[in-house]
A = this chain, B = another copy of it.
Amino acid sequence: MKIKDGDIIVFAGDSTTDADKNATGDGLGNGYVKLVRDALFAFRPSENFRVVNAGVSGNTTLHLLKRWEKDVSSLKPDIVFCMIGINDVWRHFDYLDPLDKRISEEEYAENIGKICDLAEGAREFCLMTPYYMERNRTDEMRVLTEKYAARMKEAAKDRGIKVIDLQKVFDEYMQGRPGQSVSWDRVHPGSVGSMLIAREVLREFER
């Protein structure tokens, strides 16, 4: 992916991206987006970038689709990263409000497709798969997460869009240490998991 001086870079997603962004003065949160921005500023001092955190906690693909125009497209970004889907999966495992509608694999695939269409205006677009920080491959939520991630990869492949496979990144990490050691719920990455994600984004800039 090419990154150029003056680029506007938007990260769209859920709480992993959001990382409490409304509580930090700069609107960047304290997760991987902040690390990516700081690294760009620290290691490319002769260039200028605008980095925008467009993550919102609790978002599914459905929520993200609805706010894409306002939160992403309207900024006319040069580069867009999008990590979405873990809440589409999670709602099958936690509180099952009779009034809520769960997003099926098919709907997820469809929503990802629509997001790809909406992102066409950006010079560079990159998806990041949902992941589950549990190394037991028979874990029921991991199994479902992998199915959704597969759908994302399919959708990306069809359209020639880049995908960062974060499950793979964390699987490598979990060879050394259980996922719950950095993430009690196996989803929110904390400062350590954020560093793993940030590294992937930064590597993408150099591919």
Contacts of A160 in B (CB 8 A): none
**A178 nearest CB neighbor, chain B only:** B93
Closest residue to A173 on the B side, CB-wise? B45
A contact residues, total (Cβ < 8 Å): 47
Main secondary structure of the interface of A (DSSP, over half): loop
Instruction: Please measure, in the bound complex, the distance between the C-alpha atom of A192 and the C-alpha atom of B136, giving whole angstroms.
Output: 26
Known contacts A50-B98, A96-B48; A191 and B141 CB within 8 A of each other: no
Inter-chain contact B94/A45, CB cutoff 8 Å: no
Given A34-B191, A42-B195, check contact A178 B141 (CB 8 Å). yes
Interface string of A17-51 (1 = CB under 8 A from B): 00000000000000000100011011111111110
User: Which B residues touch A136, using CB under 8 A?
Assistant: 136, 138-140
**Segment of A62-70, A115-123, A181-189 engaged in the interface with chain B:** A181-189
A3 within 8 A of B: no
Closest residue of chain B to A181 (Cβ to Cβ) is B94
Q: Note all chain B residues with C-beta closer than 8 A to A177.
A: 45-46, 96
Q: In the docked arrangement, what's the CA distance between A8 and B196, Å?
A: 23
Known: A48-B97, A94-B180, A176-B46. A41 touches B8 (CB 8 A): no
Contact A191 B38 (CB under 8 A): yes
A177: nearest chain-B partner, CB-CB: B45
Within 8 A of B (CB), among A167-207: 173-178, 180-182, 184-185, 191-196, 199
Q: Which of B42, B47, B185 contacts A173 (CB 8 A)?
A: B42
A175 touches B46 (CB 8 A): yes
